[in-house]
Chains A and B, each alone.
Chain A
Amino acid sequence: MTDQIREQISALLDGELASGEISLLVRRMERDAELRRAFGHYVLAGESLRAPGALLASPGFAARVGAALDDGPVEVAVAPTADARSPRRWARPLAGVAVAAGAALAAVLLVPAGERSGNRLAGSGMGSVQVNAPILPAGGASPTPAQNQRLAGYLVAHGQYASPIGRRNAWSAALAADPGITRVALETAERP
């Protein structure tokens, strides 16, 4: 990635990129998976460091993210500050976000339903899919791609009947749903 692209991404995130350049950069990102990943790293770094009162980057965080732009896969970790109130508190790129190049910055959280064991979620919100195929695996593991697809289908079908802002939230979640993400528990976060 050239210095010019780096500068354009930085300017975009700072709101200082000219409108014409934004369009060109966005179209390029849509075509270029590597550029999308690099952009994700920039967002991760910028938003983590800006998150008000919620997170502090671990030592070397910025350097490692920067290195990731050139070197490919990288793992970074940020940790909650003392006033972070709960694991679900809004604190973008949170604990131990394993940002492997090629993985989307997205999450699918699995929540136990009561005393969860051997649970399955079945059915589909969209057309030609198997009836009663499990959506989620047992034991709270990440869903398989097929299960994830089914969940995305539900969200798309539901979004058609939600309010405009509800639809945007549901469909954004459908786009973000990615079973390839490795989730890292808060407890494993690196303290600054």
Chain B
Amino acid sequence: MRRMLALALAGLAVLGGSGAAAAESTARQWLERMTEALATRDYDGLFTHAAGNQSETMRIVHRMEDGRSVERLVSLDGNGREIVRTPGEVHLYMPDRRVVLVEPRRDEGSLLKTLPAPGPELDSLYTLELRKGHRLLGREVRVVDVRPRDHYRYGYRLWLDERSAMPLRSEVLDGSGSTVEAIHFTRLAIDEPIDPKDLQPAVDTTGFQWIRAGRRAEARVAGPPSAGWLPRKMPPGFRLVVSRSQPVPGSPIPMQHLIFSDGFASVSVFIEPAAEKGPAPPESASVGSANAFTTQMSGHVVTAVGEVPAETVRDIATSLAPVATGSPPATPPTGPGER
């Protein structure tokens, strides 16, 4: 809440500037409201998720419990996969694989303050526009266009409910304005009572394999990385915001997870020891608006994943290099008090 207040005040300060700046500030305030609403409101919705040449219907249920969000996202088509975020863990149920992947929840405490949030720095990376939209789901709508100033990030078009700022429709756009991914709600109940049963998985996990990530993971706000991997050159605006390490079964060397953000988009980099059978050529993959790129360097496998163009995850992955602890990073890290 303190962060949101600070962001709102920052936005109001800009309102005193030029007309264009004022318009952008207003759009940014809507983005801030949207971020707050997604994280803190109770809601239950059905939406169509579409990417590439496919479309899928999903349900999302989000509720605040004792100040913490719990959430369930379930595919209603075909594979029946679900993600359930409990107060302590995140579970990915994969009935098609008869597997449940489990990760400790990572957004506790001071780390929350470092997660991507729209702030005044967005102006140098994106142009923001706000306009009135046509009604959706019987609600008055504001449309926020977020256009990148360069090719390192995607644009967004967001249709926000005027009353709650919840996104009723969102599209991710590439540099040519083509839609990469879209989410359209067909139903959205906001701040209505949510039955706790709706937050429970519908999957019968009898006989499933449970795969748990390391519980001894150490996550911290980015500073001089303990593991000594740093970016030599980053795309403009991206900063290291979180660095964490996690044990890898069978390996004395922990996996490192670095998170870079420009305040709106983010990229994760996973660094793991490589197998002994020699280097593999780089490869990339795309799922929705998320792109992944993997390469090997210095005996490690480096994989970058994020909701940014393929070139950006490639550039970030290939910019990393092992360095001696204490060497300055190419991009100043964000401290815990800056957001």
A residues near B (Cβ < 8 Å) are 12-13, 15, 19, 22, 26-27, 29-31, 33, 36-37, 39-40, 43-44, 47, 85-86, 88-95, 97, 102-114, 116-129, 131-132, 134-136, 143, 145, 149, 151-158, 160-166, 168-178, 180-181, 183-184, 186
- 12 A-B contacts, Cβ less than 8 Å apart? A88-B180, A92-B182, A117-B281, A121-B292, A122-B301, A131-B275, A161-B116, A163-B117, A168-B73, A168-B183, A173-B49, A175-B56
A contact residues around B179 at 8 Å (CB):
88-91
With the chains together, A104 CA to B287 CA distance in Å? 14
Q: Check B288–A152 contact: CB distance below 8 A.
A: no
**Is the pair B178, A15 in contact by a Cβ cutoff of 8 Å?**
no
Which residues of B approach A to under 8 Å, CB–CB? 34-35, 38-39, 46, 48-60, 73-83, 90, 92, 94, 96-97, 99, 101-103, 105-107, 115-118, 137-138, 156, 158, 167, 170-172, 174, 176, 178-183, 186-187, 189, 202, 211-214, 241-242, 246, 248-251, 255, 257, 259, 261, 264-266, 268, 270, 272-275, 277, 280-294, 296, 301-303, 305-307, 310, 314
Contact A37 to B78, CB < 8 A, known contacts A126-B103, A127-B214, A131-B275: yes
CB distance from B239 to the nearest CB of A (A): 13
Taking each of B56, B102, B182, B186, which has the highest tally of chain A beta carbons within 10 Å of its own beta carbon? B56
* Residues of the B chain whose Cβ atoms lie less than 8 Å from the Cβ of A164: 34-35, 38-39
| Complex alpha-carbon distance, A108 and B56, angstroms | 13
Q: Which of B77, B101, B314 contacts A106 (CB 8 A)?
A: B77
Residues in chain A near residue B288, CB distance under 8 A: 169-170, 172-173, 176
Q: A111-B285, A174-B83 are in contact. Are A36 and B76 (CB under 8 A)?
A: yes
Contact status B284-A111, CB under 8 Å: yes
Give the contacting residue for B101; candidates A103, A105, A149, A177; CB below 8 A. A149
Contacts of A129 in B (CB 8 A): 211
Residues in chain B near residue A86, CB distance under 8 A: 176, 178
Instruction: Report B-chain residues with C-beta under 8 Å of the C-beta of A107.
Output: 51-54, 287
User: Given the complex of chains A and B, what is the CA–CA distance between A183 and B54 in angstroms?
Assistant: 9
Give every chain B residue within 8 A of A47 (Cβ-Cβ).
Answer: 48, 50, 55
Q: Is the CB of B96 within 8 A of A145?
A: yes
B289 touches which one: A44, A173, A181 (CB < 8 A)? A173
A30→B202 contact, CB < 8 A? yes
Contacts of A88 in B (CB 8 A): 52, 174, 178-180
Establish whether residues B77 and A37, one from each chain, have CB atoms under 8 Å apart when the complex forms: yes
How close is B71's CB to chain A, nearest CB, in angstroms?
Answer: 9
In the complex, chain A residues whose CB is within 8 Å of the CB of B285: 108-111, 121, 135-136, 143, 151
- For the complex, what is the distance from the CA of A38 to the CA of B291, rounded to whole Å? 30
Q: How far is the CB of A2 from chain B (nearest CB, A)?
A: 19
A161 to B103, CA, bound (A): 13
With contacts A131-B275, A164-B35 taken as known, whether A12 is within 8 angstroms of B186 at the C-beta atoms is: yes
Q: Which of A88, A90, A149 has the most CB of B within 10 A?
A: A90
**Shortest beta-carbon contacts, A-B, top 7:** A90-B179, A104-B78, A127-B213, A132-B275, A173-B288, A164-B38, A119-B283
A90 and B281 form a contact (CB under 8 A)? no
Cβ contact of A22, chosen from B105, B116, B187, cutoff 8 A: B187
Once the chains are docked, how many angstroms separate the CA of A158 from the CA of B101? 14
List of B residues within 8 angstroms of A30 by Cβ: 59, 74, 76, 80, 202
Pairwise interchain contact A163-B115, C-beta atoms closer than 8 A:
yes
A residues less than 8 Å from B261 (CB atoms): 161, 163
State whether B54 touches A105 (Cβ < 8 A): yes
Contacts of B174 in A (CB 8 A): 88
Docked pose: A118 CA to B101 CA in angstroms: 28
Shortest C-beta distance, A126 to chain B (Å), equals 5
**A44 contacts across to B, CB distance below 8 A:** 55
Please determine whether A125 and B94 come into contact, CB atoms closer than 8 angstroms. no
Nearest A residue (CB) for B253? A131
Q: In the complex, what's the smallest C-beta–C-beta distance from A67 to chain B, in angstroms?
A: 19
Which residue, A86, A110, A156, has most C-beta atoms of chain B within 10 A? A156
B310: which of A22, A111, A151, A184 is its contact (CB, 8 Å)? A111
Please determine whether B211 and A128 come into contact, CB atoms closer than 8 angstroms.
Answer: yes
